[in-house]
Structure 1
């Protein structure tokens, strides 16, 4: 493993109260220019970022436990990615792969064939966003099977376009008043060990399968789509056996199994993909976020017979697989290998889980501690119950930000703190951030 070096000092520095005066100026300008429907977690404006820190326009250096929502796994300005982007942009920024193709697109697809689960023959297509990847995965499944119904799950998040809003479970802020939505989407119960009465994974899957067969009929289902670990829904890790049982049923019934690894992919969970933890081989896998070190790129990779069933021109897009984004992706993949970031993610998880597990013994408001690798969550409840405590969760996130640590909240009930640190964060910075978080929990939850 190559040593991780940093361009910026890896330390927390609070030069002003947050937000500082320059961030406040930008907030005022934003209000007059940016649509109110675009929200931001932190009211500070970034000027620089590297490793595990984000430096704002007022000179404050904040510890980043968000990674741009699992995007900057290799850091926000990894030197390999920077060099690759600079080299490509000096040659050409765009030709459109559908007009004049280029090698980098092919190279990314070759890498995805090698990295994604399964040793079957594969094909890939590149797009711009996770939602776009999901939409196209559904298109492929419907065309290849000749069926229309799609099964999604409680607590799912798959995007904000019309079809992906239909797949997404949570109404506010993602779906409310934006309908009508795409038809033929059916929602089934998810394995949620903290909230489903201790149902084991196989039994939970059989319950979902029973409902599919009764409410839809297996021969009408084109695809099952699921996040192997749910993201926005609360970092829900399904019980062991849930995913393999769904896959087994899908295979037996000609249903395309789509793993949405937009948030979980590219070393985030301690493996290249979260499916690898249970040996699950999806028919199609969707990817984005961590794929390109911060550049906009997404992909679907799947069985060759499925993707090659689509007629020429049926897949693509003007910017899909942009050459600069492809160059960034190749560099990011190289950096993940060089630094052995799957192992690094496991280490981050072990360090954090040890502290969270101990803290949960002292704080009754911590209902559940869960996650894999560097995809970690704390679910907060009213002590002695499973009643969600969204107010406490928001207060903890706010206190952390005041202390210079950026965290994210999530969950169907808004009661989960999720941690997605860059995988290149130093041990010292991680320890400091965890101390700030644990102190905030101790102060506010007692």
Structure 2
């Protein structure tokens, strides 16, 4: 007998579980299908476990900055203990998520989903039908198509290393590459980061990126730009990373060269759903070419960063769509952050965009090294960059490079959202000295 559902969700990550739970709460008959870890990438092998590793690294870096300033404890990363802490957290995620969904009355199906037609799908020997489908299968690491690619590891393996190798080579110049480089270097590895052009982290302001690269280099990370890697060779207990006039020996090689949408094995091309490596093609309602097929989070080729908060936002939006609210999606301001050493964050109008309209925008970069918030920690060259709409006297964009950047960008995002003028900010009182109280002096 073929079981029929109001909505079937493919993928049990943050977006999929949020959508399934909300629809069930509204009285729908819902099934959710997962072939890997329940809970998805973020809590199992992404942002959450990475943040656990980063927390220890951040504490070590702050202690190192205060060495000789009243703090004399010699700090070091004990990688096996840190990994045990990470695993103690992640081991509960998949079974806990699965159990929670079942307890909420959602049908959970483990296996690979394959569409037979626009309403029917098979999971192994099981066949089910859906009135609506939500695709939330996420992304997977992209592997370079080079000779010896079978020797490449990804962030999945990095986040589960039993021991930190003496030397690590990371291929890539994006978020993940810089985050892994900072963690590994602080944990004692000799790290080499190789990027194929001369502009890593191209979505962020060039001045702040260059400062980040300089600081990583000062801390022992070798950054090599404009180098195409053509081959990885296995050499007894190590590897050789080979490029044009380039040959480097290393203990392990990680590919951090982006991620691709995990939608190419669902049979979507057989039922008229268009997709690419960026995800399922969607309209302003997050619908695919087949109107009852929706895509959310990392699976959707939507024009916003692939982040967990965005996935949750899109999931809630699609729930409303299925329940009858047919307004077009409108995205709020989305801040982004790289948990590097130091952190790099950004929100709103970028410096690159501002440079295209200098009559309207002014870019102001402030070195806050002498401010008490940063001087007390002996931070090196922390920077805050503002994009100001000169006609409105309002901040419309911001970027931060510091160990406080994750929280500072959240405050600035609120100012941008609510269109505070410089005068209004100056009339707002915050606790002092804090990163919030610094804001009025940035204008």
Structure (1 or 2) with the greater strand fraction: 2
Q: Would the TM-score normalized by the shorter structure come out above 0.5?
A: no
